[in-house]
Amino acid sequence: MTRQRVLGIVGSPRRGGNTDILVDAVLDGAKARGASAEKVILSDLDIAPCEACDGCKDRGECITLDAMEELFSRMFASDVWVLGTPVYWWGPSAQFKAFLDRWYSQVQRAEDKARFKGRRIILAIPMGDAEPRTARNVVGMMEDALHYVKAELFATILAPGASDMGDVRRMDDVMSAARRAGEEAVS
């Protein structure tokens, strides 16, 4: 098998926070199995929300020229995407939702949409609430979106009870599950 490429995408603005830590754990697992890994923090990038202009329907690409162009290139050059967002108000972070909405420009033409097919996705979702059900809207949104683009939802790492910076580090079972998901996704 050729060397697998893994891209981590962090949807929390809190650098070194729980989402960042979880995504790193997945990437570490993948690297331990010989994959190459890189990571982007969405809040470092200039990513505008979708304007719903439907320009992509005519042009096949988004009319908004910002960091999404380059991010799409990196995504489609990678085999595995580790998508992390904290739960914010029972949904994803605004940064993550803006990122996801921009996928709209990539599903207008069959040949573009086909590029999602077979990508392996690992979700990493911390939340302050102790009840994992709190992540149900984020998980449901991603299950439906990934099914729509025919990407493979490989693993979902939930970290309930992670409220303060770094809380997730103390959750041995969650950290091991994240690392294992990274190992298995590239094996």
For ligand FMN, the binding residues (CB under 6 A) are 12, 14, 17-20, 86-90, 126-129, 134, 162-163, 165
Is the Cβ of residue 95 or residue 105 nearer to ligand FMN in the bound state? 95
Residue 26 three-state SS:
helix
Q: How far is the CB of 77 from ligand FMN (least distance, A)?
A: 25
Host H or E run for residue 32: helix 18-32
- Least distance to ligand FMN, CB of residue 130, Å: 8
Residue with smaller CB distance to ligand FMN, 111 or 173: 173
Buried/exposed code over 55-93 (b: 16+ C-beta within 10 A; e: otherwise):
ebeeeebbebeebbeebbeebeebbbbbbbbbbbeeebb
Supply the minimum distance, in Å, between the C-beta of residue 102 and ligand FMN.
21
Residue spans of beta strands (DSSP E) within 22-142: 36-41, 80-84, 120-126
Q: Closest residue (Cβ) to ligand FMN? A: 17
Cβ 142 to ligand FMN shortest distance, Å:
16
- Which of 8, 86 has the CB closer to ligand FMN? 86
Among residues 4 and 12, whose Cβ is nearest to ligand FMN?
12
The answer to whether 163 touches 128, Cβ cutoff 8 Å, is yes
